[in-house]
Structures are given as C-alpha cells and as structure tokens.
Structure 1
C-alpha cells in the first residue's frame, strides 16, 4: 500500500473507532464523544496499540502518515483556539468585575497552588521534567495544568445540561473567560526566552499595532468577508508568534481574543465550533495520543495522574467555595460552579502539548496530565446533574 492508502486507513480508524465506542457503548453521560475521541487517541498510540501490535502500528502510523496527520492537527487546533478567544466575553466580566475577579482568582489560584505542590513532589523522582526546562518552569507548567478550565468543552457540557443560556451559565462563562486570559499569560511567561526576548517583545508591539488596523478593517467588512480575513489573520498571528518563540497556539489565541463575537452571527460561530470538532479535531486527538509515553512504568504514570487529578479537583472546589463564602452564595451553589469549572479536556491538552513541544515536561508527564484531563472531564456531568435536580432555583440566579 502507498502512503495515500495508509493515510486513508488511519483516517478510517480515527473517525470510526471513537464513534462506534460512543454510539454502541452509550457513553454520552460519562464520556461525550469528544472525550471518547481523546481516549481513542491514547489507545491508538504507542503505549497501547504500539505495544500490543508493534508491526501493525509501525505500518499504519509511519513517519510520512504522521507528518500528514500533524499538518491537519496543527490547523485544526489553531482554528479551535481562535474560536475560544472569540468566545471570551470580557465586557460582561467587566460589568461584574468584583464578583468575577474574586471567583476567577480563587478558582485559578487555589488549584494552581495545589498543582505546584504536586509538581514539587514529582521533581523528587526522575523522568518527569523536560530536558529543556528549569525547575520553576516545570512546577508552574504542571500547576497551571491543574488550574485550567476548558472553556469550549465547558460550553458543550453546559449545553447538554441546559445551563448555557441561563444566568448561572453566563456567570460561569465569565469566570472561565478571566481564567483563560490568565492561563495564556502564564504560558507566555513560561515560554519567555531571554535569548530571544527582544524578538518576543517586538512581536507583541507589532501585534498591538496590527490589531488596531485589523479591528478597523473588520468593522467595515461584510460578515461573509470577515470569515476569510479572520483565517488569514489567524495564520499570520500564529506564524509571527512561532517565529518569536512563543508558539503558534499563543498566536492563535491572541488572534481570536482581539475579535468581537458580535462581528459574527452567534449561530454560525456555534456551527463553526461544531464543524471543527466534527471534521478536524479528531485528527488532533489522534496526534496527541501518538505522543503518550509510559517509559517510567504504567503504574507510575497512573499514580501521577491520580495525584494530579486530586490536586486539580480539590483545588478548584476549595477555591470556588472560598469565593462563595466571601460573596455569600447560597447552599450548593459553589459545588455546582466548582465542578463545572474543573472541566479540563481540550484547552488543557492544548496547553500541555505546548509544554511538551518546548521541552518543559517529559512525555511521561504529558501522559499523566492527559489522563488527568480525561478523568476531570468525565466527572463533570455525573457530579453536576444530580446537584442541579436538587437546586433548580440556582439556575436563574444572576450573581
């Protein structure tokens, strides 16, 4: 078989296996399709399929096929991160700035602290820190991975729970939006390269000037033209950020965050997110699974994932409960908000992919964090749905 046929065989696996598991297994309550796709990516990776059937794995996922798949995955995740940036509603956060800042601050800071403590424990053992990182970068990177909230997946889960357009859903989006800004800011700090700091500062200055011109242009264009111009803007920002050493996904997020959601029809934005998840992101999940590694031992990886999951969930719940006490929330309110904000999945996976690319974490740490993200996301609906049935009045509370 030639490379084209093997590539198409890989695509058949990427799209058919997770769909069959999701549909025939009825996993939607615990694991939505997007989570099953992430799990399938791990199953098809070197640690599972590669170990069980090394010859078949080497045949299907040969270097030429992986290169082709990576090209699709890069573009998919850039579009997805741009959409996440567009969906940030900072105007709403500013209107409710006191409540939003207190909640978002505790919701981010407490799991960050818990995660940093877990990372310090991991440093006592070999094999977890990346070859290119300083200890502070590793600790901060792992800590922030525990603090991340996956805004796009949070939107999908709140749609499933019927919360997205309700007042509590809009509140949660405000908190998650502020945390998203902080997450990408911390990532930029971790990636700061003192050998290229002039280039990075130059990129930020040029980006600020280009943004002024870009926003004026977009305001004058018809909506159908805005979509095309937005994709050109995305590619340029990602290219410039990668050239500066900040990583192309940082550029993709910046490309989206300076756009206004009202420039686009909300229904079309939702459809765009849906289509990217359907058509392109499964390839990214597979390419992510191909990067997993169990070299330090499967048991050690699972233990690390369990510790990180405990730090992430406990830290997020503790932080939101502290905010709830300060803001005098009602019974059960902090638990619902905390469990929703601890959702990880896509944004954290994107975040740790960047850390792995830059040598901040090892592939074993990447695997543990990936497992933690899956566990975190699978807990969300089973924990929140029963709470909502008990406290329906909270759905309509505006703050």
Structure 2
C-alpha cells in the first residue's frame, strides 16, 4: 500500500473503533464518547496495540502517516483551546469576584499542593522526570496537572446532567474559568526559557500591542469576516508563542481569551465546538495515544496513575469543602462542586503533552497522567448524578413541607 492508503486505514481505525465501543457497549453513563476516544487513543498506541501486534502497528503507523496525523492534531487542538479561551466570561467572574476567587483559589491551590507532594515522592525514583526538566518544573508541572479542571469537558458533562443553564452550572463555569486563567499562567512560568527571555518578552509585548488593534478590527467586521480573521489571529498567536519557546497551545489559548464570544452567533460557535470534537479531536486523541509507553506488566505506571488520581480527586474535594465552609454553602453542594471540578479530560492531556514536548516529564509519566485524566473524568457522572438527584429530591420535599 502507498502512504495515502495507509493513512486512510489509520483514519478508519481512529473513527471506527471508539464509536463501535461507545455505541454497542452503551458506555455513555460512565464514559461519554470523548472519553472512549481518549482511551481508544491509548489502546491504539504502542503500549497495547503495538505490544500485541507489533508488525501490524509498524505497518500502519509509519513515520509519514504519524507526521500527517500530527499536523491534523495540532490544528484541531489549537481550535479547541481557542474555543476554550473564548468560553471565559471574565465580566461574570468580576461580578461575583469574592465567591469565585475564594472557591477557585481553594479548588486550585489544594490539589496543586497534593500533586506537588506526590511529585516530591516521585523525585526519589528514576524514570519520571524528563532529561530537560528541573526539580521545580517537575513539581509545579505535576502539581498543576493534578489541579487542572477541563472547562470544555465540564461544559459537556453539565449539559448531560442538565445543570449547565442552572445557577449551579453557572457557578461552576465561573470557578473553572478562573482556574483556567491560572493554569495557563503557571504553564507560561514553567516553560519560561531564561536563554530565550528576549524572544518571550518580545512575543508578550507584541501580543499586548496587537490585541487592542485586533479587537477594534473585529468590532468593525461582519460576522463572516470575523471567522476568517479569527483563524488568521489563531495561527499568528500560535506561531509567535511557539517561536518564543512558550508553546503553540499557550498562544492558541491567549488568542481565544481576548476574543468575545458575542462577536459570533452562539449557535454557530456551539456547532464549531461540536464539529472540532467530531472531526479533528479524535485524531489528536490517537496522536496523543501514540506517545504513551509502558512495558507489559509495568505496574509502576499504574501505581503512579493511582497516586496522582488520589491527589487530584482528594485535593479538589478538600478544596471545595474548605471553600464551602468559608462561604457557608448548603449541605451537599461542596461534594457536587468538588467532583465536577476534578474533571480532567482534554485540558490535562494538553497540559501533559506540553510537559512531554519540553522533556520535563518522561513518556512513562505522561502515560500515568493520561490514565489519571481518563479515570477522573469517567468517575464524574456516576458519582455526581445520584448526588444531584438526592439534592433535587430534598429540595422538592422542602418546598412541599413549606
């Protein structure tokens, strides 16, 4: 077969296998399609498919095919991250700034500390920190990976739970939005290259100068032109950030943050988000899965994934309960908010990809983070749905008694 035919065979695998598992095994309750696709990427990677069928794996995933898949994945994830940045409503955050800052601070800070403690334990063992990583970068990177909340996946799960447009859903969006800003800010610090400080300062200065000009231009354009200009802006910011040594995904997020969602029709934005998830992100999941690596029977990877899952979930729940006590939430709210905010999904995978790209973590550590992200997201709906049902039932009973 030629390269084109092998590439199409790889695409056939990417879209067929996860869909059939999701549809026929009816996993939607505990694992929505996006989670099945993430796990599918891991299964199709060298750790499972490559180990079970090495000849077939090497035949399909040749260097030219992987390079083509990576190109699609890069653009897809840039679009996804830009849309995640556009989701941030900083005006709402400012309106409820005390509650939002308190909750976001505890929900980010506590799991960050728990994750740093887990990373401190791992520093005593070889094989987890990358060759170019410094101790502080490894500690902060793993800590932040445990503290991440996946805003776009959180939106999807809240839609599934039918709370997105309710007060609880809007509160969660504010908390997750603030955490998103902090996450990308910390990532920029981790990636700061002292030898390329001039480039990075130049990029940030250029971004600060061009942003007001870009916003004025977008305000004057019609919606059709805005779509094209936004893509030009995305490519420019991604290129500038990567050239400066930060990472193209940092640039993509910055590109989205300075865009206003009301510049575009909400229905079209929602459709673009769904189409990116449908058409492009499965390729990103596979290209991510191709980077996973562990030896058959390599128990340490699974042990580390469990340790990180404990730090992540435990930290989020502890942080939410601390915020709940300080803000005097109703009974049961802290658990629901904590479980929803611990959803990792795609943002944690993107975060881990960047750490691997910069060789701050090893492929084994990357695999552990990937497993942790899939497990934390799969836990969300089965744990939260019964709690929401109890809260709703208690509310109805209270109304009836009054």
Range class of TM-score, shorter chain? over 0.9
The residue that corresponds to 1:23 in the other structure is 23
Q: Give how far 1:101 is off.
A: 0.2
1:212-238 superposed Cα distances (whole Å, 9 cap, x missing partner): 100000001111111110000000000
1:61-102 superposed Cα distances (whole Å, 9 cap, x missing partner): 010100000000000000000000001111100000000000
Q: Give how far 1:122 is off.
A: 0.8
Counterpart secondary structure, 2:272: helix
Which moved further from structure 2: 250-259 or 288-297?
288-297
- TM-score normalised according to structure 2 size: 0.97
Q: Give how far 1:265 is off.
A: 1.2
Query: 2:287 matched to 1:287?
Result: yes
Q: Give how far 1:298 is off.
A: 2.1
* Structure 2 contact 51–296 (Cα < 8 Å) conserved: no
* Structure 1 contact 163–395 (Cα < 8 Å) conserved: no
- In structure 2, runs of 5+ residues without a counterpart are 397-402
Superposed counterparts of 1:56-71, under 5 Å: 56-71=56-71
| Structure 2 CA distance for aligned equivalents of residues 101 and 314 of structure 1 | 20
| Structure 2 CA distance for aligned equivalents of residues 288 and 27 of structure 1 | 22
* Structure 1 contact 317–338 (Cα < 8 Å) conserved: yes
Seen in structure 2, the aligned counterparts of structure 1 residues 395 and 189 have a Cα distance that, compared at 3 Å, is: farther
The residue that corresponds to 1:196 in the other structure is 196
1:276-329 superposed Cα distances (whole Å, 9 cap, x missing partner): 000000000000000001149621000000000000000000001000000000
1:12-37 superposed Cα distances (whole Å, 9 cap, x missing partner): 00000000000000000000000000
| Structure 2 CA distance for aligned equivalents of residues 195 and 296 of structure 1 | 40
| Structure 1 CA distance for aligned equivalents of residues 297 and 341 of structure 2 | 31
The residue that corresponds to 2:14 in the other structure is 14
Q: Give how far 1:270 is off.
A: 1.0
| Structure 2 CA distance for aligned equivalents of residues 395 and 180 of structure 1 | 32
Counterpart secondary structure, 1:195: helix
1:131-155 superposed Cα distances (whole Å, 9 cap, x missing partner): 1110110010000000000000000
| Structure 1 CA distance for aligned equivalents of residues 296 and 60 of structure 2 | 26
| Structure 1 CA distance for aligned equivalents of residues 395 and 284 of structure 2 | 34
The residue that corresponds to 2:101 in the other structure is 101
The residue that corresponds to 2:137 in the other structure is 137
| Structure 2 CA distance for aligned equivalents of residues 127 and 180 of structure 1 | 29
| Structure 2 CA distance for aligned equivalents of residues 296 and 144 of structure 1 | 29
| Structure 1 CA distance for aligned equivalents of residues 334 and 50 of structure 2 | 43
- In structure 1, runs of 5+ residues without a counterpart are none
The residue that corresponds to 2:400 in the other structure is none
| Structure 2 CA distance for aligned equivalents of residues 295 and 120 of structure 1 | 24
Q: Give how far 1:332 is off.
A: 0.2
Query: 2:48 matched to 1:48?
Result: yes
Query: 2:254 matched to 1:254?
Result: yes
| Structure 1 CA distance for aligned equivalents of residues 340 and 395 of structure 2 | 13
Superposed counterparts of 1:91-170, under 5 Å: 91-170=91-170
1:108-167 superposed Cα distances (whole Å, 9 cap, x missing partner): 000000000000111111100011110110010000000000000000000000011111
Superposed counterparts of 1:301-316, under 5 Å: 301-316=301-316
Post-superposition, which runs of at least 4 consecutive aligned residues in structure 1 deviate over 4 A? 393-396
1:253-272 superposed Cα distances (whole Å, 9 cap, x missing partner): 00000001111111111111
* Structure 1 contact 6–65 (Cα < 8 Å) conserved: yes
- TM-score normalised according to structure 1 size: 0.98
The residue that corresponds to 1:3 in the other structure is 3
Seen in structure 2, the aligned counterparts of structure 1 residues 189 and 163 have a Cα distance that, compared at 3 Å, is: same
Count of aligned residue pairs for this structure pair:
396
| Structure 1 CA distance for aligned equivalents of residues 88 and 367 of structure 2 | 29
The residue that corresponds to 2:370 in the other structure is 370
Q: Give how far 1:198 is off.
A: 1.3
Counterpart secondary structure, 1:11: helix
* Structure 1 contact 169–395 (Cα < 8 Å) conserved: no
